[in-house]
Amino acid sequence: MGNDLASTWEAMKAGRSGIDRIASMDTSAYTTHIAGEVKNFDAAPFFNNAKDCRRADRYVQLAVAAARMALQDSGLDVEAVDKDRVGVMVSSGIGGLGTLEEEHTKLIQRGPGRVSPFLIPMMIANISSGIISMEYGFGGPNMAIVTACATSNHSIGEAWRIIKFGDADAFLCGGGEASILPCGLAGFGNMKALSTRNDEPQKASRPFDVGRDGFVMGEGAGVLMIEELEHAKKRGATIYAELIGYGLSADAYHMTSPHPEGHGAARCMDMALRHGKINPEEVSYVNAHGTSTGLGDVCETKAIKRTFGDHAKNGLLVSSTKSMTGHLLGAAGGVEIAACLMAMKENIVPPTINLDEADPECDLDYVPHVAREAKVDVALSNSFGFGGHNASLLIKRFA
């Protein structure tokens, strides 16, 4: 879609798909040949030290790049703040799968002595948070939350809690993911989770459409700077929106399938609304988890109806930007809350592309095909992960 906020957002508004045939590996032996790869990405300029860049898994490189962009966009003067009150919570749903694959191949083919001493620190899912903190000397709360595809939203939500509790002034938070790899493609493919619409890559991710046949893998990173309000105002920060609510729940139902009636997802959205003291009819836009899977899209639709009642079909706009980006797994929420923020800033709701014929059980206004001008004062972003992990973020226009 793009390698920065501006280009990605322009592509979303244009309804342009970022899905194509996979160029980074030979897919001839796999059932799926398509994904949303980050193209023409050079990580080196985003690191203070070239050696650190070389010793970082691709997921970390993407996360570090997004964190630097977020920090620059925030205008925060790193040398003028108390670094011990700036935290980092940037994680990954899967971690350094590329590093693990590469070093495991060395182990099998060449013996244990050839395995890199950096295998462990390069592959663990918390190392992106650690490296980002080292890049800037941020000594505040530093951790990683791993909840599959809910990872970014949980990271942002828990950072919000820590700030509210008074233990930090600001956080870089979100997620990075890079799993378009042999093991990732085989694993998701063999569980029949991936689309096999290989002849039409740009039409393969089609949330809520009757012809959907699975999600399309994506890679990338989304990182936000969230900040205590008075701290932000004091330094004259540009404020995109106020984060007012965060919901989390468990389906307690199945390892990979959502609850068929969307009970956990609905409780999650309900909690976010309670935190924000917002009535359902005040929400303008929901950026849906909307992965393009048969069960997931129907269950989320049921959950939205349960939470929003009559408003779900009378004024609420819902769209899935995964129709364009594919599913970034643990990084999805970071990119999607950014889409909500830009929708609020420009009063333009990004579309759900490829929605040619809606599933009869998916009967909401999913903003098909074309972005729509609409006043967005309150927006909610959903992320749901394997294991039944649910996380919703609620933002409100700042006045």
Q: Are 86 and 239 a contacting pair, CB within 8 Å?
A: no
C-alpha distances (whole Å) from 245 to each of 110, 161, 342 are 51, 10, 18
Q: In whole angstroms, what is the distance from residue 290 CA to residue 317 CA? A: 13
Q: Is 311 annotated as catalytic?
A: no
Across 83-108, b (16+ Cβ under 10 Å) vs e yields: eebbbbbbbbbbbbbbbbebbeeeee
Q: In whole angstroms, what is the distance from residue 328 CA to residue 162 CA? A: 26
**Token output for 40:** 């023409």
Can you tell me which residue has the tokens 């468990």? 250
Count Cα atoms within 13 angstroms, Cβ side, for 229: 7
Q: Which of 53, 149, 268, 299 is catalytic?
A: 149
Q: In whole angstroms, what is the distance from residue 179 CA to residue 218 CA? A: 8
Q: In whole angstroms, what is the distance from residue 257 CA to residue 254 CA? A: 5
**Token output for 170:** 């600001």
Q: What is the dihedral of CA 234, 237, 238, 242, to 10 degrees?
A: -60
Q: Is 289 annotated as catalytic?
A: yes
C-alpha distances (whole Å) from 273 to each of 245, 351, 379, 398 are 6, 24, 10, 17
Q: Which of 33, 231, 289, 389 is catalytic?
A: 289
Cβ atoms within 10 Å of 113's Cβ, excluding its own = 7
User: DSSP string covering 201-243, please?
Assistant: GGGS--TTBTT--SB-BB-EEEEEEEE-HHHHHHTT-----EE
Q: Which of 327, 340, 362, 389 is catalytic?
A: 327
Q: What is the dihedral of CA 17, 18, 21, 23, to 10 degrees?
A: 170
Q: Is 149 annotated as catalytic?
A: yes
Q: Are 320 and 287 a contacting pair, CB within 8 Å?
A: yes
**Which of these, 285, 289, 268, lies nearest to 384 by C-alpha position?**
289
* Alpha helices per DSSP H over the chain: 5-14, 50-54, 58-74, 97-110, 119-123, 127-136, 151-165, 182-190, 229-234, 263-276, 294-308, 322-325, 332-346
Catalytic residues: 149, 289, 327
